[in-house]
Chain A
């Protein structure tokens, strides 16, 4: 399957899963799991950075339309789309990743590298999102707990996603 088609399908499925499943589940007031930003994390390495940011904006605004949070998801998505190349640069070995694998994954980056990459960007996304949506620092502990617990929930979901769609090729 071509990379383009794969990413289009992933975009649609992740948005639908987020809107129809995750947003309907209520675990706790402090735990709002988000999985849809995995789309940005799994875009190909060689995608130009402007395209990356525009795709992030598109993803965020699509979810905003469904959850009545005009612009908040979009801001968080553009934020991590902008920071993604920097994180990848820091984590990449000398000479970059192997070119045979064109997308970030456990096989192309190694388990520990990929885990760090995902956790950092998911945490950044949640920080940006919850700071904007709570929009007050009057209760910093509440905000912090919300960010940390939601990040943990998101990471568990990413783990499940990786276990489900793991391919060795």
Chain B
């Protein structure tokens, strides 16, 4: 026993070192289990407040660029207004309104009614990174405003990411810039996508190199591709609506002669370098869809 105590005292520093490193590693790997560490990331009160303060100053210098992008987006939205329905002022509360479609002749007969499926909420970006392996965006909207994990996030031009963890006033979004490992299988963070012109389905990843370029995989060799074609969301995931722009085809090639699918370089539609405002998408019918899918899966077991 005495020897043991002497041993421990002699190597006390080393054991302290091991202990601290083990604590660090537990943190690192717990990070995947996000609820437990939500208070120790940038959505907690202290650092969230500091970032918000800092962003107030920084925001001033970006007013011109923000204004330009908002004007451009307004223009685009005005163009779609005729085919859209009443989306004014729905950020503050949920209107359970429906879209009624009437026939075009003089009878004005009611053809169908459609229920609102997606609800958009604007959010201010207060912190953003692009040069890490896993890049996150902190936004000034939290559970008080109805943000919940796994909601989709889009920017003025295209898809941005998915909400990861939420506190009262802030939320952390994992952006599309989430480095996937080299293998085509395994747990990768990808976005289900399709090509606008041909409708081929694939998955968009990021390889960790350049924040403007992504990779699209799993597009079969038979697909007809051309440069500049838009890559859009497939709508399979229940996170994003269909036909949201993800990016544009930059180049494409076959990695070797025998491969069955194309490697496509995709230019992201979103400019991750100067994000100022994003929109968080809530799928109001999502619970219903997942419940149905789960129950079917249980039936098949």
A residues with CB within 8 A of B? 19-20, 23-24, 26, 28-29, 32, 49-50, 53-54, 56-57, 60-61, 64-72, 74-75, 78-79, 82, 132-136, 138-139, 142
CB <8 Å contact, B24 and A71: yes
Interface of B is mostly: helix
Residues of A within 8 A of B47 (CB): 65-66
Q: Interface range on chain B: under 10, 10 to 19, 20 to 34, or 35 or more?
A: 35 or more
CB–CB B16/A50 < 8 A: yes
In the complex, what distance in Å separates the CA atom of A133 from the CA atom of B30? 14
Within 8 A of A (CB), among B131-176: 131-134, 136, 172
A65 with B24: CB separation less than 8 A? no
For the complex, is B12 an interface residue (Cβ under 8 Å from A)? Answer: yes
Q: Is B44 an interface residue (CB 8 A)?
A: yes
Contacts of A23 in B (CB 8 A): 129
Count: A-B pairs, CB below 8 Å = 101
Q: Which of A53, A70, A133 contacts B17 (CB 8 A)?
A: A53
Query: Do A65 and B17 touch (CB < 8 A)?
Result: no
Residues of chain B with a CB closer than 8 A to A70's CB? 27-28, 30-31, 37, 40-41
Residue of B20, B25, B41 most packed against chain A (CB within 10 A):
B20
B205-230 CB contacts (< 8 Å) to partner A? 208-211
A29 CB contact (under 8 Å) in B13, B25, B131, B182: B131
Cβ of B26 within 8 Å of any chain A Cβ, yes or no, is yes
Contact present for A60 and B24 (CB under 8 Å): yes
**What is the 8 Å Cβ interface bit string for chain B, positions 272-297, against chain A (1 contact, 0 not)?**
01000000000000000000000000
Instruction: Write 22 A-B pairs (CB below 8 A) sorted by A numbering.
Output: A23-B129, A26-B273, A29-B131, A49-B13, A53-B13, A65-B44, A67-B42, A68-B134, A70-B27, A71-B24, A71-B27, A71-B31, A72-B24, A72-B28, A74-B24, A75-B21, A78-B20, A78-B21, A78-B24, A133-B132, A136-B182, A139-B182
How far apart are the CA atoms of A65 and B136 in the complex, in Å? 13
Which residues of chain A are near B211, meaning CB under 8 Å?
A: 29
B181 at the binding interface (Cβ < 8 Å)? yes
B236 interface residue per 8 A CB criterion: no
Known: A49-B13, A70-B30. 12 other contacts (CB 8 A): A20-B54, A29-B208, A29-B209, A67-B42, A67-B132, A70-B40, A70-B41, A72-B24, A74-B23, A75-B24, A78-B21, A135-B133
**Chain B residues near A (Cβ < 8 Å):** 12-14, 16-17, 20-21, 23-28, 30-31, 37, 40-42, 44, 46-47, 50-51, 54, 58, 129-134, 136, 172, 179, 181-182, 208-211, 273
- Residues of the A chain whose Cβ atoms lie less than 8 Å from the Cβ of B17: 53, 78, 82
Q: How far is the CB of A18 from chain B (nearest CB, A)?
A: 13
| Chain B nearest CB, measured from A74 CB (Å) | 4
Q: Which residue of B lies closest to A74 (CB)?
A: B24
Q: Within the complex, which residue of A29, A50, A136 is in contact with B210, where a contact is CB–CB below 8 Å?
A: A29
Chain B residues lying within 8 Å of A26, measured Cβ to Cβ, are 130-131, 273
Q: Are the CB atoms of B40 and A65 closer together than 8 Å?
A: yes
In the complex, what residues of B have CB within 8 A of residue A53's CB? 13, 16-17, 20
- When chains A and B are docked, how far (Å) is the Cα of A138 from the Cα of B17? 29
Q: Which 10 A-B pairs have the closest CB atoms?
A: A71-B27, A75-B24, A71-B28, A70-B31, A82-B17, A71-B24, A78-B20, A74-B24, A138-B182, A49-B13
Is there contact, CB below 8 Å, between B28 and A67? no
With A65-B40, A70-B40 in contact, do A82 and B133 touch (Cβ < 8 Å)?
no
How long is the Cα–Cα vector from A56 to B17 in the complex, in angstroms?
A: 11
From B30, B42, B210, B211, name the one whose CB has the most chain A CB atoms within 10 angstroms. B42
Separation of A71 and B40 alpha carbons in the complex (Å): 10
